[in-house]
Amino acid sequence: MSDPELRRRLYRVMVLARACDDRVAALKAQGEIAGSAFLGRGQEAFSGAAGLCLRPGDVFAPAIRDQAARLAFGETPLDVMRVVLGRRTGWMRGRDGNIHRGDWSRGILPFISHLGAMAAPVAGVLLARRLGGRLGDTVGAIAIGEGGMNTGALHEALVVIGVERLPVVLLVADNCYAYSTPRERSYACRDLAERAAGYGFAAQRCDGTDADDCLRACQAAFAAARRGSGPQMVVADLLRLAGHGTHDDASYVPAELRSRYGDCLPLFERTLIREGVLSAEEAERTRAQCRAEVEAALQQARSEPAADAATDEWRVYSESDLLNLRWRR
Ligand SMILES: Cc1ncc(C[n+]2csc(CCOP(=O)(O)OP(=O)(O)O)c2C)c(N)n1
């Protein structure tokens, strides 16, 4: 069992991620967000546990449901609100609605696609570091869904990562559906961890609704990658507790499946309270503080200027930015 302080940190990250997602869903419904909005509801335990295993200097390619991991790795609710409201002050300078955000200087790669396009860039960063003698004990983490596991782009990158034995942790959130395609139509093996050996990856499995189990699996995988044991895969079994995006009501998910998978957040809260790691009052206070933090971030972002397509510089990174990219280490 992980130490109580780490469990409390994970709980807070999960609550904050849920609060961000709830607010984003409300903003979308109010018509304040252009484009789509994608939520990570039900995936906070796995995502947050992975995010807490990242260290400054690591490189991370989150997927669209990784609000928890992003927050654990240094993104703030203000960063989120600036991007979703298209503020000029945001990471993408108002150029992207919500998911394609990132910040090279913090090691969060700006997102290309949910379907496997981020694995090759992570491999490239790690290879460049190795060739430059700067790899140290840094790792690269790549988030993917069970649908994305079937793309050619991912396959090609995993082959290179395996052959080069790069310090990668592939975080597979098998959330039962790729849009409306059920997992039985995505793979014919018992689970996706069975694919790991074929790529030369070690594999861990975890119950994505059990935050302690997610911490255990992620800690083991990140530690192995850091000590040079080669690439690692962690496969979490969970259910997406939202539509693919807020435009999707997920009515294709049968009631039986919904009742089989719990919601990781109240489950973890109840466990922590039962074990005396958190009191009911602390839990209530954490929920209120996180809601207030998200609300303050929203008000701040609302007060800042929107991007101006007619006059703003269109490139998110100028040439001198790219030449001067500074990693945290
Ligand atoms: C090449 C390509 N095909 C289709 C899409 C549309 N698309 C985006 S996400 C997605 C489903 C992804 O499912 P999964 O990888 O299981 O992740 P989840 O959404 O369940 O988190 C699809 C079909 C796309 N973005 N790119």
Separation of 113 CA from ligand 1 center, angstroms?
A: 8
Question: What pLDDT sits at residue 323?
Answer: 58
Is residue 329 pLDDT above 50, yes or no? no
84 pocket-lining for ligand 1 (C-beta < 6 Å): no
Separation of 96 CA from ligand 1 center, angstroms?
A: 18
Taking the C-alpha atoms of residue 122 and residue 229, their distance in angstroms, rounded to an integer, is 18
Contact 146, 183 (CB under 8 A): yes
pLDDT tens column, 146-201: 999 999 999 999 999 999 999 999 999 999 999 999 999 999 999 999 999 999 99
150 pocket-lining for ligand 1 (C-beta < 6 Å): no
Is residue 266 pLDDT above 90, yes or no? yes
CATH superfamily of 4-304: Thiamin diphosphate (ThDP)-binding fold, Pyr/PP domains (3.40.50.970)
221 pocket-lining for ligand 1 (C-beta < 6 Å): no
Residue 77's pLDDT band (boundaries 50, 70, 90)?
very high
Contact 256, 47 (CB under 8 A): no
pLDDT tens column, 207-219: 999 999 999 999 9
Phi and psi at residue 159, to the nearest 5°: -60, -45
Question: What pLDDT sits at residue 14?
Answer: 99
Take residue 239 and report the two structure tokens written for it: 């259910």
Pairing, β 177-178 against β 181-182: antiparallel
Separation of 177 CA from ligand 1 center, angstroms?
A: 10
Residue 318's pLDDT band (boundaries 50, 70, 90)?
low
Separation of 88 CA from ligand 1 center, angstroms?
A: 28
Looking at the chain, the whole-number percentage of residues with pLDDT higher than 90 is 86
The single-letter code of the amino acid at 109 is: L
Residue 97's pLDDT band (boundaries 50, 70, 90)?
low
Domain ranges of the chain: 4-304
Per residue, the 3-state secondary structure of 44-106, as one string, reads HHHHHHHHHHCCCCCEEECCCCCHHHHHHCCCCHHHHHHHHCCECCCCCCCCCCCCCCCEHHH
208 pocket-lining for ligand 1 (C-beta < 6 Å): no
185 pocket-lining for ligand 1 (C-beta < 6 Å): no
